[in-house]
Amino acid sequence: MIYQGSCHCKAVQFNVKTDLQNIKQCNCSICVRKSAKMSIIHKDDFQLTQGEKEISLYQFGTYNAKHFFCKICGIYTHHIRKSDPNGMGVNTGCLEEVNPFELKADILDNK
């Protein structure tokens, strides 16, 4: 299924193709703090539709993973995975008509 997603202020908007079956909650230091459930997808299943200039990048540690967020409202929207450069994690809280509290997430152990 294709879902529409956005940050809180809607400056960043995207489409994502996912069946919401591969949901992860990472235990690295940044993911614990943002507490987001992520739909793990192939990067070809993500299409940014608006807000390229509003996206900012945050990296830490080994600088392999790329965490993207809206520089206006600060919401984390997606990231490129350090363990799989062709894979992405998309914040399920940003997807329209998806309640992330109803999704069961497996722990992605990055410690």
Tell whether pTM > 0.85. yes
For residue range 39-92, what is the model confidence (pLDDT) as tens digits? 999 999 999 999 999 999 999 988 888 999 999 999 999 999 878 889 999 999
Domain count, the chain: 1
Hey, what are 35's tokens?
A: 């507490």
- Residue that the structure tokens 């990055």 belong to: 110
What distance separates the 2 farthest-apart alpha carbons in the chain?
35
Q: Provide the CATH number for the domain around residue 11.
A: 2.170.150.70
Instruction: Render 8-24 in DSSP notation, one character per residue.
Output: SSSSSEEEEE--S-SEE
* Residue 83 near residue 40 (C-beta atoms within 8 A): no
Domain ranges, residue 45: 2-108
**pLDDT averaged over every residue in the chain:** 94
